Structure 1
Amino acid sequence: MRIQIYIFRRAFYAKKSVIILLMRFWDVNKGDIFIGENSITNIETKNLRKNQTLISQETFLFNETIEDNIKMGNIKASREQVIEAAKKASIHDFIESLPKGYETRVGELGGILSSGEKQRIGLARAFINETPILILDKPTSNLDTLNEGQILKAINENCEHRREVALV
């Protein structure tokens, strides 16, 4: 069953509060949040987070290869799965254009990449991670119009098995 929830807020703190509550960095003071029929406070935090993937507008990358950064979504993923996730995130052709391709080291915090390239690598990381809950915080904020359309289409096509919460 696919559930999509979109939250449109200008207030930065309101959206961040939703993420904090969904990820259970804090517990709800009043009211409740349910996943299915279960109160989020009755779900062990470790189990909750194993079932969530967060795509934030700022992707954190490690000073490792592009492949390793994508595989952080699923360390057991094969090269073929990494490539497929990169294709879905519209970053494969860019990666292949680099002299070392998927073996390119991205530098501290992904310093050799633009913010849009980092964001697409973050999306590939999310696509390779098969969690049922996907939380999107402005997932296309650093992308041009062409890539934004491709990414939104990819999210729609490749997340049918997930419950989505989009914060835009």
Structure 2
Amino acid sequence: MLFHDTIENNLRVAKQYVTIEETQLACKKANIHEYIQSLPHGYKTSVEALGSSLSGGERQRMGLVRMFLHDAKLFLLDEPTSNLDSLNEGIILKSIYEERKDKTIIFVSHRDSTLAHCNRVIHMESNRVS
């Protein structure tokens, strides 16, 4: 969910006292830093100014930036790459897997590529768990 504010402030929701350097690093991990830099006002660009030009994948990557900024020990990611092409998916999953050291990350996904590096995969289908 994005609020009617700047991109920078939308990302700060995850961590109130975050530096621009931390924000930019998180954006690089989510592979959206270059896109934001290409905007006329960069991180100060208003989300409203982008209107419908902001794709589902770009919105999804901004949500993932929040995850990279947040210092939680547990994350539940429901279809975290569903709106992304395979290139962006690969970049972001690599970043997520590098971040998982002391964290528990639960993925909900229909994509085998998303689950490929998970320690444990639980399949649920037709009311059965395997």
TM range (shorter): 0.7 to 0.9
Aligned equivalents of 1:159, 1:61: Cα separation in 2: 25
Shift of 1:106: 0.9
Match of 1:92 among 16, 33, 40: 33
List per-residue Cα deviations over 1:131-167 (Å, max 9, x = no partner): 0001110000000110011111111012222111111
Aligned equivalent of 1:117, options 58, 66, 69 = 58
1:42-61 matches, cutoff 5 A: 60-61=1-2
Q: How many aligned positions are there?
A: 109
Pair 1:143 & 2:84 matched: yes
Which residue of 2 is the match for residue 52 of structure 1?
Answer: none
| Secondary structure at the counterpart of residue 14 of structure 2 | coil
Q: Which of structure 1's runs of 4+ aligned residues deviate more than 2 A?
A: none
Tell me the CA shift for residue 111 of structure 1.
3.9
TM (norm. structure 1) is 0.62
Matched residue type, 1:85: A
Using the aligned pairs only, state the percent identity: 45
Determine helix, strand or coil for the equivalent of 1:72: helix
In structure 2, the gaps of 5 or more residues are: 110-130
Aligned to 2:42: 101
Give 1:112 shift.
Answer: 3.9
Matched, 1:72 2:13: yes
What residue in structure 2 maps to residue 127 of structure 1? Answer: 68
Check the 8 A contact 1:88/1:151 in 2, yes or no: yes
Greater fraction of residues in helix: 2
CA RMSD of aligned residues (A): 1.6
Quote the Cα distance in structure 2 between the aligned partners of 1:112 and 1:104: 13
Q: Tell me the TM-score normalized by structure 2.
A: 0.79
Larger radius of gyration: 1
In structure 2, give the amino acid aligned to 1:80: E
CA distance in 2: counterparts of 1:62 and 1:112, whole angstroms: 15
